[in-house]
Structure 1
Amino acid sequence: MAFTIINSIASWILKQRIHQIELFLKFPNEVQNELLLDLIKSNEQTVFGKKYDFSSVKNYDSFSKRVPLFTYEEMEPYIERTRRGEQNILWFEPVKWFAKSSGTTNAKSKFIPVSNDALENCHYKAAKDLLCLYLNNNENSQLFTGKSLRLGGSKQLYEDNNTFFGDLSAILIDNMPFWAEFSSTPSNKTSLMSEWETKMSAIVRETKGENVTSFAGVPSWMLVLLNRIIEDTGRGNLLELWPNAEVYFHGGVSFEPYREQYNKLLPNSNFKYYEIYNASEGFFAIQDLNNSSDLLLMLDYGIFYEFIPMATFGTLEQRVIPLAQVELDKNYALVITTNAGLWRYIIGDTVRFTSLSPYRIRITGRTKHHINVFGEELMVENTDRALAKTCEQTAAEVSEYTVAPIFMQEKEKGAHEWMVEFRRQPQDLEQFALLLDRNLQDLNSDYEAKRTNNMTLNPLVIRVARANLFYDWLKKQDKLGGQHKIPRLSNERKFFEELQSMQVETDIKSKNLA
């Protein structure tokens, strides 16, 4: 009875936010412009604001001309000053939290500033909005009669200047109000454990006796945990253990390669999947409709958005446009100005708009995670969707994958080489490769043009990875769990050859043992 009352009260409170969301849906560009001017005005006296004369910036046009675009490497000197204890550098309020993000293409760690304003008015506000939108779409939800199984990262202390860093999820858990822990499992103590494999065992022990009604975490790592729980409990599926489970809130990597595996673990046609788009730098978009792949761009979280058309990204013709100028179905690199002191920051993600009223997007990949060696402009969105369709056609299941180019040599044409770790391997690998190639051509006309009559590209090549190859590679890089991801696509062969080398080492050891 008590849980039912809590569920009703929580639902009513969260739904009140709908009216504020409707405001930015109605006046999106006005909300964004006002937000930008507020950010500029508040930071006139910061080191950064003085350097770029924020006091004379009166509109977007003067802002875009005055302040250059920044990569992390270019903004790092400002961030490092803050990490060493200086304040009023990038943001007018004290900043003591930094989200550690090592990424997939750069071994060097990034430390993204997280201000109190970003915590309250971006990340926590987004978490409440996610629940608000879900409850608004599902009036009979019993979400708060049980607990949310969350999978977060670890926390560390940067001791020199009493500034803290860790995975974003760990920072959020560590700063949550005390009562929030009662609606989540595992405990904060377990959630923040640093050793991944020890943490997995602890989570299984803590959660299997709870009444879990929802899940939250990165699909690839959550799948590892849920399969571990199935093995530990001997259940046929998760609904046998948690019959009241109703929704999985996911983000971080594309859900498509894992969808069928989740459907088997949660075999209920009414079970919902809600995607979110958050990162160390901010919370950007939320799925606002049931059974949708589109994400509503949230415009009142203290983040001002700009976009670089990928057709000119990194070229002399590169241009930057505000939200009001975007077009449907074009790939854009995302540029953000945030309430944590990131200014015109190129985050590295790419998106395309599926709707302009309201502004809805899909994540298409990373600026560094695409293959365009031969003019094929292949994006992660293409490979994820093609792989998911091919698995459906062949009853295969994929755990992880990465793709690299095979460069042209003398008269030999180029190709794409896939390293795929199967959870269930297809009966006919050649047929799988053929179907995958066709599905990619159906999704990407540039790839199709290069593949037609083997004009530029030969058929793709698939290498079957041994079990746990990608897991072992991440472990070797000290990147287990949290937000760490496999680099899906690359214009070079570095990651692929590292994986290939580990595969060969295993083959040699196996032969020696034999």
Structure 2
Amino acid sequence: MFSLKSALAKPFAKHVSKSIKKWANNPVETQEKVFHEIIGKATSTQFGKDHDFIGIHSHADFVKRVPVRDYEDLKPYIERVVAGETDILWLGKPLYFAKTSGTTSGAKYIPITKESMPTHVEAARNAILMYIAETGNSKFVAGKMIFLQGSPILEKKNGIQLGRLSGIVAHYVPKYLQKNRMPSWETNCIEDWETKVNAIVEETLSENMTVISGIPSWVQMYFEKIQEKTGKKVGDVFKNFNLFIFGGVNYEPYRAKFESLIGRKVDSIELFPASEGFFAFQDKQDAKGMLLQLNSGIFYEFIKADEFFTENPKRLTIKDVELGVNYVLIVSTNAGLWAYNVGDTVEFTSLKPYRVIVSGRIKHFISAFGEHVIGKEVEQALQEAVKNSKVQVTEFTVAPQINPEKGLPYHEWFIEFESEPSDFEAFSKKIDASLQKQNSYYFDLINGKVLQPLKITQIKKNGFQEYMKSIGKLGGQNKIARLSNDRNIANVFEAQNLIK
């Protein structure tokens, strides 16, 4: 069936693809331009005056005047913006605050300005257009698209609207997609996640769903409910569903489970959105990593993760980075964040153009014994263990066991299986061998008999959902920490009897 929308999408995609390649092929100049633009615009702000922006002519000048800060360090300025003051971090007042639930600082209010808001919308749009330009597939544009997201209902604080980022973005769906978009506005406004997912299932079952988007763990919940309701694979219910768009977590640990739920393989596009900015998206189906958005009003700095907690770690720009190194991501933006530690760590997979994978969180690691194991390492270890097997993992997290009842300390892996390994010992050994191969510190600790190999503790079916519900973080943009340096999550599993 001919669709004008699908036909028009192809030339538009080619045009956008050309303009993206133009700046991607001139990365250093593009970042220099962004740097001078945002510094120039913020010179007369309170932050700009306090940090002598008028005297900043180079990255070296910026490093001397503006220290790296996290939310807590920037909070005195943000509190003034929240109180309604103007020209504090950026000119005027923000359009919105993206409200996030910080683990250490309570609610965080991340400003979104009239300059930064379009970059969030354009990057999501461009990810789809780059896919069309590469594959020639635009049929899905005529079908229904679902975006599993937070409620679009916004509150007001001193005249500034605030809500979840995904809820704010819901107000910016282009007119030409409004008719295609699911769920209905009313359903999207439901706050309780389980009620919302059930309503989405009812609304979408009879629709021609072609694109499904969201954080994998919550899309999985939607897929499972469809399967429960119909007794069919998702791909049989939605015969034209061929594109899954996701962000927030690594898809690989979920891939086998998803393909089982769908009943076939579908193309996927990975995104790297955050309240602080839309940092990257997958621009090619066959390339590892996501294209770093160098032309979106964000100036990037990178600090080697293993130097981050030293006295004066070196702050690198895009021209200084190397492949395969774990970097802490630092951003300065046209929303008024300056040398801001987002908390994510990235690794470059390509320098022509610059592509990254998210390797973890700088605060999410296990180093109870000096091993500094990171998110990317545990995800890769699990991925290698399930490869070419019938094992399917629903969710997992890792914690140190420092004081076991007997024997040496170890890493405890809490795993919820959809399909269990037939031989747990062999499965554990595979994970442990991969971890030792990736992390020399961990290898030395095992071989030096400081640690014993990891142990797996099984979590009951839907145990992770119950855990997230118990801490008030079920659904939306919330995700489980892959690993932690304490036993806070482990203690909740035990207290709530979620261990199988």
Normalising by structure 2, what TM-score?
A: 0.95
Aligned residue in 1 for 2:247? 251
- Give the 3-state SS of the residue equivalent to 1:320 in structure 2: coil
Q: How does 1:160-171 map to 2 (within 5 A)?
A: 160-171=157-168
8 A contact 1:40–1:54 mirrored in 2: yes
Instruction: Verify: 1:466 aligned to 2:460, yes or no.
Output: yes
Aligned residue in 1 for 2:217? 220
8 A contact 2:156–2:162 mirrored in 1: no
Instruction: Verify: 1:273 aligned to 2:268, yes or no.
Output: yes
Structure 1: 5+ residue stretches without partners = 508-514
Q: How does 1:60-459 map to 2 (within 5 A)?
A: 60-103=59-102, 105-106=103-104, 108-120=106-118, 122-235=119-232, 237-269=233-265, 271-407=266-402, 413-452=408-447, 455-459=449-453
Name the amino acid aligned to 1:21: I
Q: What displacement does 1:12 show?
A: 1.8
Q: What displacement does 1:32 show?
A: 0.2
8 A contact 1:306–1:323 mirrored in 2: yes
Name whichever of 140-149 and 211-220 sits farther off.
Answer: 140-149
What is the distance in 2 between the residues matched to 1:107 and 1:475? Answer: 20
What is the distance in 1 between the residues matched to 2:316 and 2:406? Answer: 42
What is the distance in 1 between the residues matched to 2:404 and 2:214? Answer: 43
What is the distance in 2 between the residues matched to 1:153 and 1:242? Answer: 23
Name the amino acid aligned to 1:432: F
Q: What displacement does 1:437 show?
A: 1.2
Superposition RMSD in Å: 2.0
Alignment CA distance shift 1:141-1:160 (3 Å): closer
Structure 2: 5+ residue stretches without partners = none
Q: What displacement does 1:101 show?
A: 1.6
Alignment CA distance shift 1:194-1:497 (3 Å): same
- Give the 3-state SS of the residue equivalent to 2:370 in structure 1: coil
8 A contact 1:421–1:464 mirrored in 2: yes
Name the amino acid aligned to 2:242: E
Alignment CA distance shift 1:470-1:282 (3 Å): same
8 A contact 2:288–2:349 mirrored in 1: no
8 A contact 2:152–2:188 mirrored in 1: no
What is the distance in 2 between the residues matched to 1:198 and 1:500? Answer: 27
What is the distance in 2 between the residues matched to 1:472 and 1:350? Answer: 28
What is the distance in 2 between the residues matched to 1:408 and 1:322? Answer: 42
Alignment CA distance shift 1:322-1:258 (3 Å): same
8 A contact 1:14–1:128 mirrored in 2: no
Q: Deviations over 1:93-145 (max 9, x none)?
A: 43131112225x4371212111122111x111101210121011111331212
Q: Deviations over 1:152-197 (max 9, x none)?
A: 0124544442322222111100233444321211123322321111
8 A contact 1:153–1:482 mirrored in 2: yes
8 A contact 2:366–2:483 mirrored in 1: yes
Report percent identity of matched pairs: 38
What is the distance in 1 between the residues matched to 2:208 and 2:185? Answer: 17
Name whichever of 153-162 and 290-299 sits farther off.
Answer: 153-162
Normalising by structure 1, what TM-score?
A: 0.92
Name the amino acid aligned to 2:22: L
What is the distance in 1 between the residues matched to 2:495 and 2:474? Answer: 20
8 A contact 1:386–1:436 mirrored in 2: yes
8 A contact 1:156–1:164 mirrored in 2: no
Name the amino acid aligned to 1:203: I
What is the distance in 2 between the residues matched to 1:432 and 1:52? Answer: 54
What is the distance in 2 between the residues matched to 1:337 and 1:81? Answer: 19
Aligned residue in 1 for 2:483? 489
Name the amino acid aligned to 2:125: K
What is the distance in 1 between the residues matched to 2:223 and 2:238? Answer: 12
Alignment CA distance shift 1:434-1:411 (3 Å): closer
